[in-house]
Amino acid sequence: MARSWLEYKAPAWVQWCPGCGDFGILNAIYRAVAELDIPPERLVVVGGIGCSGRTTFYVKGSNAHALHGRAIPMATGIKLARPELTVIVAGGDGDLLGIGGGHFVALGRRNVDITVILFDNAVYGLTKGQAAPTLPAWIKTKALTSPNIHDNVNPVLLAFSAGYTFVARGYAYHTSQLKELIKTAVRHKGASFIDVLQPCPTYNNVMTNKWYEERIYYVGEDYDPIIRTREDFKEKLPAIMEKLLEFGDRIPLGILYWDQTKDSFEERLEKIMPGYMQAPPGTRRISVDGRPIVDPFEVFKDRVIVT
């Protein structure tokens, strides 16, 4: 191990409530990027708005803090301009699946090589505990004046159907297992998604640590989520669907789906524009001695007319 996780700890007061699941996720991120030996200046953590978004300031990296819901498009722009960087999105359930739901789906379609970590506590913490898209119907947390009458979205199934090529679920307090999931997700070339269940001790008095502990289990060795060929997909789909759909008395954790057959968006760009990766937009030279490198009369011949 080349680096200590402490190297990634940014000097800042971590403002989360005592007992918050976010601490577990943050710790898992530190350890994962340390074990992956990613230089901090090459690590980009893009945070949304909400408690989870503050992760941007707690991980030492070359980071950006986006608008509410817009972490994914911002991360997409960063990654496509500099595909050599490691880009991780840290966002909450309201951020990624509520206000940013459209972008969450679009990332799957593009399969950009970004790791999305969903801090899933089913409530809006910073605005006093309103129901988030992952709160099941008829749950009445203390913060709600009446029971939640919206159904909950299934984040892993949504990610699967949107086209994410790596879909996993972790638990915030299981730091070691979560660290391994993050490492695998980051190594995967494509859009990866980890739904991290986490209690919000301040606002979600129903889905508590105890509530989760009674339900969660890790998928076993016998469960094979890896798709290596299209035939694989057909064969394994029923078992994968079963795991993706399971959320109730039992909640599976671990890698639920991992498609290794698809090109990332950057690879697709390289296919239509060979050379893109070698001279990506973020770092390529655009001028020589302060002068442009293309002449409109040479490049835009379709508009030139010789009279």
- Between 31 and 103, CB nearer to other proteins: 103
Residue pair 226/258 in contact by the 8 Å Cβ criterion = yes
Binders of other proteins among 28-57, rule CB under 8 A? 40-42, 44, 46, 54, 56-57
291 is a site residue for other proteins (CB under 8 A): yes
Find all residues with CB under 8 Å of 296, minimum gap 6, and list them: none
149 is a site residue for other proteins (CB under 8 A): no
- Between 236 and 262, CB nearer to other proteins: 262
- Between 180 and 266, CB nearer to other proteins: 266
Shortest distance, position 112 Cβ to other proteins, whole Å: 10
- Between 56 and 152, CB nearer to other proteins: 56
Shortest distance, position 210 Cβ to other proteins, whole Å: 33
6 is a site residue for other proteins (CB under 8 A): no
Residue pair 77/26 in contact by the 8 Å Cβ criterion = no
> Binding residue for other proteins (CB under 8 A) from 9, 36, 77, 251?
77
* Integer CA distances (angstroms), 159 to 18, 234, 285, in order: 31, 18, 37
Residue pair 266/275 in contact by the 8 Å Cβ criterion = no
Distance separating alpha carbons of residues 48 and 44, to the nearest angstrom: 13
- Facing residues of 59 across strands? 9
12 is a site residue for other proteins (CB under 8 A): yes
> Binding residue for other proteins (CB under 8 A) from 85, 97, 116, 197?
85
Residue with tokens 């730091």: 175
- Between 157 and 162, CB nearer to other proteins: 162
Binders of other proteins among 270-289, rule CB under 8 A? 272-276, 278-288
Residue pair 99/77 in contact by the 8 Å Cβ criterion = no
Distance separating alpha carbons of residues 200 and 178, to the nearest angstrom: 18
- Between 86 and 192, CB nearer to other proteins: 86
Name the token pair of 120.
């899933």
Is residue 257 classed as helix, strand or coil in its secondary structure?
A: strand
Residue pair 44/62 in contact by the 8 Å Cβ criterion = yes
Binding residues (CB under 8 A) for other proteins: these are 12, 40-42, 44, 46, 54, 56-57, 60-67, 69-70, 72-82, 84-85, 102-103, 105-106, 269, 272-276, 278-288, 290-297, 299-300, 302-307
